[in-house]
Chain A
Amino acid sequence: MIDGIPLPARDGPFEAGFWRALERGELAHQNCADCGVWHFPPRWRCHCGQPLAYRAVSGNARLWSWTVIHPPVLPAFAPFAPYPVAIAELAEAPGLRMVGPLVQTAGDPINHVDPSRLTIGMPLQACIVELAEGTPWPAWKI
Chain B
Amino acid sequence: MTIAGKVAIAGIGQTQFGRGLAESERELAYMAIDMALKDAGIEPSEIDALSSYTMEATPDFEIVRNLGLGPLSYFSQAPHGGGAGPAAIGHAAMALATGQAKAAVVWRARKRSAAGTRVWAQSVPVLNDHWKWSRPSGLLRPVDEVAMIARRYAHQYGDIAPALAEIAVTLRRYACANPAATMYGKPMDEADYHASRMVADPLRLFDNCLETDGAVALVLLPATRARDARQPPVLIEAFAQGLVPGHQSMADFHRADALTGSSAVTAEHLWQRTAFTAADVDVAQFYDAFSPMILFSLEAYGFAPRGEGARMIVEGALRPDGALPTNTAGGGLSEAYLHGMNLATEAVRQLRGTATTQIADARLALVTGCDATPNGALLLRRDG
Give A contacts to B, CB under 8 Å.
5-9, 12, 40-41, 47, 64-70, 72-74, 77, 80, 82-83, 85, 87, 93-101, 110, 115, 120-121, 131-132, 135, 137
Contact = CB atoms under 8 A, between A and B. Distances in A.
A131 B258 contact: no
A41 B130 contact: yes
Contact of B127 (A6, A64, A94, A120): A6
A87 B148 CA distance: 8
A98 B133 contact: yes
B384 interface: no
A6 B137 CA distance: 9
Given A47-B245, A95-B256, A99-B134, 20 more contacts: A6-B124, A6-B131, A6-B135, A8-B136, A64-B253, A65-B148, A65-B155, A67-B139, A68-B198, A69-B141, A69-B201, A87-B253, A93-B256, A94-B256, A95-B255, A97-B253, A97-B258, A99-B133, A120-B152, A131-B137
B256 A68 contact: no
Interface in B142-157: 144, 147-149, 151-152, 155
A13 B80 CA distance: 22
B136 A137 contact: yes
B136 A7 contact: yes
Contacts of B155: 65, 120-121
A9 B128 contact: yes
A12 B133 CA distance: 12
B251 interface: yes
Contacts of B231: none
Interface string B330-343: 00000000000000
Nearest to B203: A67
Contacts of B136: 5-8, 131-132, 135, 137
Nearest to B130: A41
